[in-house]
Amino acid sequence: MKKHNFYAGPSILSDYTIKNTAEAILNFADTGLSVLEVSHRSKEFQAVIDEATALVKELLDIPEGFSVLWLGGGASMQFCMIPYNFLSTKASYIDTGTWASNAIKEAKLFGEVDVVASSKDANYSYIPRDWKVAEGSQYFHYTSNNTIYGTEIRKDPDVPCPMIADMSSDIFSRPIDFSKYIAVYAGAQKNLAPAGVTIAIVRDDALGHVDRQIPTMLDYRTHIKKGSMFNTPPVLPIFSALQTLRYYKALGGLKELERRDLAKAAALYETIDASRMFEGTVTNPDDRSIMNVCFVMKPEYKDLEGEFISFCSERGIVGIKGHRSVGGFRASLYNALPMESVQVLIEAMKDFEYKH
Ligand SMILES: *Cc1c(COP(=O)(O)O)cnc(C)c1O
């Protein structure tokens, strides 16, 4: 049976990515070797990382003066690399969820952290408004999409200092105005590649302004100087990322990806809002994520949640169980998920509601 993959991460990849990765595991670039067993210094892999880097720059329209890095350690490693490299006095952060608060915890090891606002009081079900960045902040850090709670800041905020964003779960779903940023980072396993590689896009001239010693591997300048080859980069995830990037480009780039993402999310939210049985956990439409749609059963139907998961799995729908800190359901609608899968979920919700 065809599966409809709604996992939050690692998550669905395009058929193109999976097929080409499978082929390269058997024979990479006609070398007669698997991509699993070639040197990262071979000319064939150098071509892969070069093309992947160029496509990230092209698709995201990254201006001159920024470097695109392919790093290990996950987005969670960036929580410490960011303040290690950029924070000497004070930085501002907004607390919109678990990942944001993990980033705040690490930043506190390196300087003063001004938390401009938090939505923790309401289990992170909204994006705080009317906050101000503290005077003298070196940067403002935010999580553009809160994967666990289904909220999103889809528009680059306006603040009086440079910005840094964790875009792990919504990169390649909207344009980014890089003139406002000194760094953007994203773990690949939500919208790009298998787990194991993280993209960090850093503004070169924003580096080198802290006076602490930085361990070699945690210093962005090391990886810029060596083209992400200071040590062995995650070869296979980078190969897969290239396939996804080619697929994105062939589809028509960010414009088309965003159009599809908005249409998928609109269809699902419309169904949730019109339902007698389901309700969204994020009530302000402006705060709703187009990548991770979180919903629950209304109190009078609560005891049917388990049954709905089984009902869905009979139809090939997998990965819709909500994160344990929110409960209910979460449908992740990443770029590779076709509208057809959203329609199958919508159908299941309607049929289940009819049945009860
Ligand atoms: C998944 C996720 C992370 C954590 O990524 P790792 O690669 O597991 O460290 C961080 N931030 C956001 C927004 C995420 O969705």
**Active site residues per annotation:** 99, 166, 190
Distance from the CA of 148 to the center of ligand 1, in angstroms? 10
CATH number of the domain enclosing 324: 3.90.1150.10
Q: What pLDDT band is residue 181 in, cutting at 50, 70 and 90?
A: very high
- C-alpha–C-alpha distance, residues 297 and 247, integer Å: 36
The SS3 of residue 83 is: helix
Q: Do 202 and 260 belong to one domain? A: no
Per-residue pLDDT at 146 exceeds 90: yes
Contacts of 33 by beta carbon, 8 Å cutoff, 6+ apart:
27
Asked whether residue 7 is domain-assigned, the answer is no
Q: Is 99 in the pocket of ligand 1 (CB under 6 A)?
A: yes
Same domain, 243 and 287: no
pLDDT digits (tens, 9 = 90+) for 212-225: 999 999 999 999 99
Q: Final residue of a domain: which of 251, 274, 303? A: 251
Choose among 258, 242, 253, 333: nearest CA to 293: 333
Mutate which of 78, 147, 289 for ligand 1 pocket (most atoms within 8 A of beta carbon):
147
**Mutation choice for ligand 1 from 7, 76, 192, CB with most ligand atoms inside 8 A:** 76
| Last-in-domain residue among 189, 219, 251 | 251
Name the pTM for this structure.
0.98
Give the residue numbers spanning the domain of 259: 253-355
Q: What confidence category does residue 61 fall into, taking pLDDT thresholds of 50, 70 and 90?
A: very high
Q: Is residue 272 part of a domain?
A: yes
On whether residue 4 sits in a domain, the answer given is no
Q: Is the CB of 169 under 6 A from ligand 1?
A: yes
* Domain match, 172 and 47 both: yes
Do the domain assignments include residue 8?
A: no
Predicted pLDDT at 164: 98
Report helix, strand or coil for 329: strand
Question: What phi, psi does 183 have (nearest 5°)?
Answer: -160, 145
Q: Which residues pair with 165 in a beta bridge?
A: 142, 184
State residue 84 phi and psi, 5-degree precision.
-55, -40
Dist. CA 192–CA 28, nearest whole Å: 20
Structure tokens at 271: 């169904």
Both structure tokens of 153: 């800041």
**Could you identify the atom of ligand 1 that is nearest to the CA of residue 147?**
15
Joined tokens for residue 177: 């105005």
CA torsion sign, 12 to 13 to 19 to 21?
negative
Whether the CB-CB separation of 141 and 166 falls below 8 Å is answered with yes
Question: Residue 129 has what pLDDT?
Answer: 96
Q: What is the pLDDT of residue 1?
A: 85
CB within 8 Å of 285: residues ≥ 6 apart: 269
- Measure Cα distances from 178 to 131, 164, 208 in Å: 22, 10, 20
Q: How far away, in angstroms, is 189 Cα from ligand 1 center? A: 8
Considering the domain boundaries, does residue 44 fall inside one? yes
Last-in-domain residue among 251, 275, 295: 251
Pocket lining: 76 vs ligand 1, CB cutoff 6 Å:
yes
The one-letter amino acid at 55 = L
Q: Are residues 165 and 287 in the same domain?
A: no
For residue 76, how far is its CA from the centre of ligand 1 (angstroms)?
A: 6
Percent of the chain, pLDDT > 90? Answer: 99
* CA pair distance 322, 236, nearest whole angstrom: 29
User: Within this chain, do residues 86 and 155 fall inside the same structural domain, yes or no?
Assistant: yes
- What CATH number is given to the structural domain containing 86? 3.40.640.10
Atom of ligand 1 nearest to the CA of 97: 13
User: Rounded to an integer, what distance in angstroms lies between the CA atom of residue 223 and that of residue 156?
Assistant: 27
Give the alpha-carbon dihedral of 179, 104, 128, 175, to 10 degrees. 30
In a domain, 167, yes or no: yes
Q: pLDDT tens for residues 148-161?
A: 999 999 999 999 99
Is the Cβ atom of 75 under 6 angstroms away from ligand 1? yes
CA-145 nearest atom, ligand 1: 13
| Cα angle: 242, vertex 249, 79; to 5 degrees | 55
For residue 139, which phi and psi values (nearest 5 degrees)?
-160, 160
**152, containing H or E segment:** strand 151-152
Mean pLDDT rounded to a whole number for the chain = 98
- Peptide bond preceding 338: is omega within 30 degrees of 0, i.e. cis? no
DSSP SS3 for 103: helix
Per cent of the chain over pLDDT 70 is 100
DSSP state of 321: B
- Per-residue pLDDT reduced to its tens digit, 295-339: 999 999 999 999 999 999 999 999 999 999 999 999 999 999 999
| In a shared domain, residues 123 and 39 | yes
